[in-house]
Structure 1
């Protein structure tokens, strides 16, 4: 019988550091390549949809139709990105998801770092390809609109918490059963819904990689820390909450960060 505090120490007690040898393991390298490609596809579709909307509207101010278009594009893009990499890397496509899985003991630190590097590179390459293929149009960086810095920070925490919680419930939880089949759809839907809720205020990033690529290519870093700190805090909290309250204390992490 577990002690009264055992359930509350599970996530941190299962955190694994791993070692640098993981950078050279064929399975880890393949997983990193999968994360690179899936993030590239997601960012190309998501940021590209925003650039296309700006082109056809003459860079018109944000409108309801633009918000809906962004939500649909990101939801569909993430659904595909998760689905195509789920069987190889787990379909993280997001440093905040990777971090949330790390604090829950579902991926080692070194493998997580490898994933995050691949995700950031995928985002940057996607934005460079967009600049090239559109004849030099600027990739729009995430920015605040009508909210304070701290309100935006909380926005990103809450939205990313919902995203990573959904990942845990539909893809990580060993009791998920048939629910796991719809994981990519559920993950895409929560991102689309969050864009409808927060897109007009922060751009609804929920993903440091999605923010990093456009910021680097356009070299726009205003309030960029929010798009790292908010998602990482939200993702970490979701991982801890789900592991502590809903996953059995006897659950062991699967090797290699697989769901």
Structure 2
């Protein structure tokens, strides 16, 4: 009987401790917000919305915004490198939805030795039109109009007029160019010819020095969706409380590079509860 009472008291104490941790975290966020300007808070909120929208709707474009040495901490699992992180996010976040609070700027993130921000020497080019082929501008002199077959006619003057009419409607398009890849401008490479006047829509860093790293944090939960094995249920879904922290640099959402992503579980009261139970367990 005494043991049961001790367990109940321990449970209540752990619950109160968890509430205190949550209150302290929210208070710390409020204090941190006072150290930033309104423009910085708006930028953090915009970036948070951009990140979640990209992860849920445009995962194929994530690789264009990741640093070469990006690090992902997915609830304790560490993933490193642009290609590895991109594939991991594309595979594991395909059935995940974010239910996060408004992202706020913070001074620092990370709590492990692996949470390192590595800034590359050369800035990464970010394509503007990720969802469409690159826009190309080619002068008329660079296009080649094929020779046209003249229709048989009794009048040589009429045939010359028809040839001139046909040539007026051609030469402005790209029908004679090699097949152009439908990838973003960042990956676009001309496959032939002298295309020195091609205008690729890419964005580069505006400053010559190293980019300024910014940190944002949001709290909430991620919801997992999986097909259900039950006959009367199409899918199974559950939420996992977490804290999302991101280190990035940017001049705007179209020109951002992500260096560190942390998905951290924030259900700390369960671990505290287990410690309390072990401490209060009577010795035989």
What TM-score, normalized by structure 2, do the two folds share? 0.24
Structure number with the higher strand fraction is 2
Structure number with the higher helix fraction is 1
Structure number with larger C-alpha Rg: 2
